[in-house]
């Protein structure tokens, strides 16, 4: 026999003739159940680690129950060692909830994906939830849940989101004296109390104070080892993420230069759960017409039909020309979509190079959170992916000059 078999025989762990799994040793069933529990998990999704640990604990429990019958089975001992290694790699605690192959037992009230996240259809089939994305960046540019893109004034405090589960309010201040353009210097997020999952938690960020904790000093909500709400600091004082498992929601907050950006992904059924009195939500309905400083269709580069005011380029473009701004933005964003156009607009309006990073990060957040890849890029009707035509350039020039009037 091979050396490993001889060693096991000498230790009494394997008896001659036991190389075949006996009928009562159900280690293969344990392994099959584990594969079934983990095959649908996405390592990039919220709550992956906790669900994987639950499946590992269930796997470990199954092997323990069949340990007597499988004591001389190599597959069994390999499984036990493999489980131990995986639990160490994932920092899984040995004690805690376990997964079950019975769908009726796996219901977790504080995991959106285990109940509301999977909806029944008429044929009995199940489908994943539809997610929505909203983002705010620059001075400021808004991408709504409907993928409409706007450039707005919205000076002062405005609600981005206000539903039965979450409230997000931003405060915008003027960027350049004499300009109607503003940028965000304060963000307040309220995760509303939700049954046994979490008490109300409030997060607040202001310029130069981007904490990695809620205002009460905690970094998570919910009881036990598996937190239904938690904050992850990705870059100290510059970038934090909030993951709310119980409502399937992820929020990114960044500081770039002197101003803040926000990106959020939320299930559609929860995002649209609000009262009639809560209809003023920028992520839902966009900016009021009186607050828009674009063409009303979300295209900052398509302002046409205005005569150029009699002013010098130095007054409207502090530190940048259209050519230098386009070159700088193109280095970060080779695809000339609406994020590129917004970057050019921000540089011409403010002269602040940090807005290039803001536009680039906003696009990265879209790619990380937006559920539909084909909608990551939005192109103005007057421009193409490969370049910007003359009418778009003229339109952007007009817009920048109008902002300063």
Asked whether the beta carbons of 264 and 369 are under 8 A apart, the reply is yes
Tokens of 391: 């009418």
Whole-number Å distance between alpha carbons of 39 and 67: 25
CA nearest to 342, candidates 380, 304, 371, 398: 380
CA nearest to 171, candidates 244, 233, 262: 262
Q: What is the pLDDT of residues 131-175, one digit of tens each?
A: 999 999 998 999 999 999 999 988 999 999 999 999 999 999 998
Asked whether the beta carbons of 183 and 139 are under 8 A apart, the reply is yes
Q: Which pLDDT value is given to residue 100?
A: 66
Whole-number Å distance between alpha carbons of 356 and 201: 32
Q: What phi, psi does 137 have (nearest 5°)?
A: -160, 170
Q: Which pLDDT value is given to residue 400?
A: 44
List, in sequence order, every residue forming a beta bridge with 261; answer none if it has no partner: 254
Q: How many residues does the chain have?
A: 405
271: enclosing H helix or E strand: helix 268-271
Q: Which pLDDT value is given to residue 381?
A: 63
Mark the ranges of the chain whose per-residue pLDDT is less than 70. Answer: 1-24, 44, 100-107, 115-128, 223-226, 294-318, 381-405
Edge-to-edge strands, sheet with 201-206? 156-162, 166-174, 182-191, 201-206
Its sign, for the CA torsion 15, 19, 20, 23, is positive
Burial (CB count within 10 angstroms: exposed 0-12, middle 13-18, buried 19+), residue 151 = buried
Q: Which pLDDT value is given to residue 384?
A: 38
Whole-number Å distance between alpha carbons of 271 and 162: 8
List, in sequence order, every residue forming a beta bridge with 171; answer none if it has no partner: 157, 186
Whole-number Å distance between alpha carbons of 302 and 97: 55
Residues 6 or more apart whose Cβ sits within 8 Å of residue 62: 26, 29, 30, 33, 34
Tokens of 46: 């919220």
- Number of other CB atoms surrounding residue 118 within 10 Å: 13
Supply angle C-alpha 149, 154, 155, rounded to 5.
145
Supply angle C-alpha 42, 46, 50, rounded to 5.
85
Burial (CB count within 10 angstroms: exposed 0-12, middle 13-18, buried 19+), residue 15 = exposed
DSSP letter at 159 equals E
Whole-number Å distance between alpha carbons of 300 and 195: 43
Q: Which pLDDT value is given to residue 304?
A: 28
DSSP structure string for 236-297: TTTEEEEEEGGGTEEEEEEEETTEEEEEEEEEHHHHT---GGG---HHHH-S-GGGB-S-SS
């Amino acid at each position: 026999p091979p050396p490993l078999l001889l060693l096991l025989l000498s230790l009494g762990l394997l008896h001659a003739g036991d190389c075949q799994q006996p009928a009562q040793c159900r280690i293969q069933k344990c392994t099959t159940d584990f594969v079934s529990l983990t095959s649908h998990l996405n390592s990039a999704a919220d709550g992956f680690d906790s669900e994987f640990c639950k499946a590992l604990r269930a796997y470990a429990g199954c092997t323990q129950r069949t340990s007597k019958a499988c004591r001389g089975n190599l597959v069994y001992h390999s499984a036990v060692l493999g489980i131990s290694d995986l639990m160490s790699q994932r920092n899984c605690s040995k004690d805690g909830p376990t997964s079950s192959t019975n769908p009726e037992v796996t219901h977790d009230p504080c995991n959106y994906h285990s109940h509301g996240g999977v909806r029944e259809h008429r044929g009995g089939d199940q489908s994943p939830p539809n997610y929505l994305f909203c983002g705010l960046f620059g001075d400021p540019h808004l991408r709504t849940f409907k993928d409409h893109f706007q450039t707005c004034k919205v000076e002062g405090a405005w609600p981005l989101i206000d539903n039965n589960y979450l409230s997000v309010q931003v405060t915008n201040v003027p960027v350049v004296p004499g300009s109607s353009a503003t940028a965000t210097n304060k963000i307040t997020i309220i995760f509303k109390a939700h049954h046994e999952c979490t008490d109300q938690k409030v997060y607040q960020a202001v310029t130069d104070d981007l904490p990695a904790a809620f205002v009460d000093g905690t970094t998570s909500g919910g009881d036990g080892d598996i937190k239904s709400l938690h904050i992850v600091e990705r870059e100290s004082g510059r970038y934090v993420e909030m993951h709310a498992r119980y409502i399937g929601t992820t929020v990114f907050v960044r500081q770039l230069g002197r101003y803040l950006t926000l990106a959020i992904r939320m299930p559609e059924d929860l995002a649209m759960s609000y009262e009639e009195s809560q209809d003023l939500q920028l992520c839902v309905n966009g900016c009021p017409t009186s607050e828009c400083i674009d063409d009303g269709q979300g295209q900052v580069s398509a302002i046409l039909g205005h005569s150029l005011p009699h002013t010098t380029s130095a007054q409207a473009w502090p530190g940048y020309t259209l050519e230098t701004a386009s070159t700088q933005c193109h280095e970060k964003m080779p695809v000339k979509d609406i994020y590129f156009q917004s970057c050019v607009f921000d540089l011409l309006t403010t002269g602040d190079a940090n807005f290039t990073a803001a536009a680039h990060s906003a696009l990265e957040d879209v790619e990380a959170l937006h559920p539909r890849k084909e909608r990551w890029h939005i192109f103005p009707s007057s421009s193409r992916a490969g370049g910007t035509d003359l009418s778009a350039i003229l339109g952007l020039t007009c817009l920048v000059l109008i902002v300063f009037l």
